[in-house]
């Protein structure tokens, strides 16, 4: 099984931690870089070949991960000079990946079973399978709806509502032919791909997940991960 880890972003929202380190190398619990946790999980679940798409400070990721032999993995790299979005880096390398493969962000902490996501996708016939998570967001303000005959009138009001959303976890199982129509070297985001698939009535598949998931995109997320690390470690880091 083959996984592509997206690690080329600049990590702007996580500054100052990412001033000198790429986000996937930020340490959790002063013990593991985020990407090492991901690599250990992938190996434990049967993945043998990992491709890391690098960009900003990518040489540090390459120096840290090497060829993967320390984790009994085969690791290679795709380097992008300009940001190409979530799916863009893959398009020029379609013939280097198998028919079905995993794609994930390199800054995610989760106990999702990646192998089950990929095997479920293979059996589904869908163009892409998206791991999803239910989020509840409490709005700390009174929310107004403006409208009616006069555009300066309040027509509805809800005090501090709670909204429920289904969000992408940044982890996907993808079929190679889904990206075949696109031109290499041009940016292509996950959002662009999904909108194109919806327009073509080629509907993406979702795989709901209710375990542990944290996208370490902001300093408060990083603090949350470190605070939870003593109890979290045994859940997400495979032994050995």
B/e letters for 175-191, b = 16+ CB within 10 Å, e = fewer, are beebbeebeeeeebebe
How far CA 110 is from CA of 53, 127, 135, 223, in Å, comes to 20, 24, 15, 16
Q: Does the pLDDT at position 175 exceed 80?
A: yes
**For residue 130, what pLDDT is reported?**
98
Q: How confident is the model at residue 152, as a pLDDT?
A: 80
194 part of a folded domain: yes
pLDDT at 11 > cutoff 60:
no
Half-sphere exposure of 80 (CA within 13 A, CB side): 27
> What is the reported pLDDT for 216?
82
In a domain, residue 54? The reply is yes
Least confident of 72-76, 89-93, 147-151, 232-236: 147-151
Position 13 scores a pLDDT of 52
CB 168 within 8 A of CB 217: no
Asked if residue 145 is part of any domain, the answer here is: no
Distances, alpha carbon 124 to alpha carbons 1, 72, 116, 210, in Å: 17, 30, 12, 21
Let me know if residue 59 belongs to a domain: yes
Is the pLDDT at 4 greater than 60, yes or no?
A: yes
Q: Which residues contact 93 (CB under 8 A, 6 or more apart)?
A: 51, 78
Residue 30 vs residues 43, 212, 233: alpha-carbon distances, Å: 22, 20, 12
- Mean pLDDT computed over 20-27: 82
Nearest to 102 by CA among 80, 130, 61, 82: 130
pLDDT at 168 over 70: yes
78 touches 148 (CB < 8 A): no
pLDDT digits (tens, 9 = 90+) for 201-240: 999 999 999 999 988 877 888 888 888 889 888 889 888 6
Bridge partners (DSSP) of residue 137 are 163
- Position 34 in a domain: yes
Q: Domain for residue 148, yes or no?
A: no
Tokens 């603090």 -> residue: 223
Tabulate helix, strand, coil % of the chain (nearest 5): 30, 30, 35
Q: How confident is the model at residue 10 (pLDDT cuts 50, 70, 90)?
A: low
By residue count, the chain amounts to: 240
pLDDT tens digit string along 96-108? 999 999 999 998 9
Handedness of CA 93, 94, 95, 96 (dihedral sign): positive
Would the pLDDT of 15 be above 60?
Answer: no
pLDDT of 17 above 70: no
Structural domains in the chain (count): 1
What's the whole-number average pLDDT of the chain?
Answer: 90
Give the per-residue pLDDT at 12.
55
Phi, psi angles (nearest 5°) of residue 216 = -85, 80
Structure confidence at residue 206 (pLDDT): 97
H helix intervals, 73-125: 88-91, 114-124
Structural domain range at position 209: 2-132+166-236
pLDDT digits (tens, 9 = 90+) for 35-85: 999 999 999 999 999 999 998 788 999 999 999 999 999 999 998 878 888
Q: Is residue 113 part of a domain?
A: yes
Read off the CATH number of the domain in which 37 is found. 3.90.550.10
Please report whether residue 171 resides in a domain.
Answer: yes
Average pLDDT value for residue range 20-42: 88
């Amino acid at each position: 099984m083959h996984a592509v880890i997206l690690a080329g972003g600049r990590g702007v929202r996580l500054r100052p931690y990412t001033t000198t380190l790429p986000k996937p190398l930020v340490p959790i619990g002063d013990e593991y870089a985020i990407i090492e946790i991901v690599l250990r999980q992938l190996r434990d679940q049967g993945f043998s070949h990992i491709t890391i798409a690098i960009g900003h400070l990518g040489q540090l990721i390459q120096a840290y991960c090497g060829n993967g032999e320390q984790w009994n993995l085969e690791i290679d790299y795709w380097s992008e000079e300009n940001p190409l979005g979530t799916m863009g880096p893959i398009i020029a390398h379609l013939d280097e990946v198998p028919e079905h493969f995993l794609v994930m962000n390199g800054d995610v902490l989760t106990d999702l079973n990646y192998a089950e996501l990929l095997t479920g996708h293979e059996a589904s016939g869908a163009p892409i399978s998206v791991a999803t998570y239910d989020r509840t967001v409490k709005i700390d303000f009174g929310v107004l709806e403006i409208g009616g005959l006069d555009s300066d009138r309040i027509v509805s009001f809800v005090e501090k509502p709670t909204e429920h959303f289904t969000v992408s976890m940044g982890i996907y199982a993808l079929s190679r032919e889904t990206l075949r129509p696109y031109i290499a070297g041009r940016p292509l985001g996950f959002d662009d791909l999904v909108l194109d698939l919806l327009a073509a009535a080629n509907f993406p598949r979702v795989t709901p997940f209710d375990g542990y998931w944290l996208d370490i995109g902001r300093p408060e997320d990083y603090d949350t991960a470190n605070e939870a690390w003593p109890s979290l470690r045994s859940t997400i880091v495979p032994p050995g």
